Amino acid sequence: MTRQRRLVYDVLLRDLDHPTASEVFLRAKDQLAGISLATVYNCLETLTDAGLVKQVNLDREPSRYCPNLHEHAHFFCMSCGAVQDVAPASNDGGLCGWRIPEGNRVEKMEVAMRGLCRRCAAVEESDSEETGDVSASRAARAAN
């Protein structure tokens, strides 16, 4: 945790408004004049890889960053651009329902899942029988 990483993380924690990398950069500069945009990108990536921060994307807009590690969805206001966290309605594994804040109007919802399709899950299963290592084969294929 270097000074720059600490600062970038603090910026994210101070206002939980899902800033873009550029916005983080502007806020960080106020406190550490010499910091560069590249460093902000580096720090955001490091923090994301470390699991302290989540990268949030909507369409092809610039990525936004969120230090909320609880399971949640995101609500993007089409009018003012604000981004809110939305908590799950219950602890049933996230497949079912969200606590939409009172007054918000949802016009569209997008759901994306990531994982292994049947075929790849099967291959991994058989690979792990041979090697005993579940993650190795996936990593090997992912390297393509």
* 85: helix, strand or coil: strand
- Nearest distance from C-beta of residue 58 to DNA, angstroms: 11
Q: Using CB under 7 A, which residues numbered 87 to 106 contact DNA?
A: none
* Contacts to DNA from residues 3-22, by CB under 7 A: 3-5, 20-22
- Residue 143 per-residue DSSP state: T
32 binds, options a copy of itself, DNA, none, Cβ within 5 to 8 A by partner type: DNA
Cβ neighbours for 3, distance < 8 A, ≥ 6 positions apart: 32
Among 1, 15, 97, 136, interactor with a copy of itself by CB under 8 A: 97
Residues 18-57 that bind DNA (CB under 7 A): 20-22, 32, 34-39, 41-43, 45-46
Q: Strand 83-86 and strand 64-66: pairing?
A: unpaired
Cα–Cα distance, 138 to 43 (Å, whole number): 27
Compute CA distances 58 → 18, 45, 46, 77, 116, whole Å: 12, 18, 21, 11, 23
Q: How many residues in the chain?
A: 144
For residue 97, the partner it binds in DNA, a copy of itself, none, with Cβ less than 5 to 8 A by kind, is a copy of itself
Shortest distance, position 132 Cβ to DNA, whole Å: 28
The one segment of 5-13, 22-30, 31-39, 82-90 that binds a copy of itself by CB under 8 A: 82-90
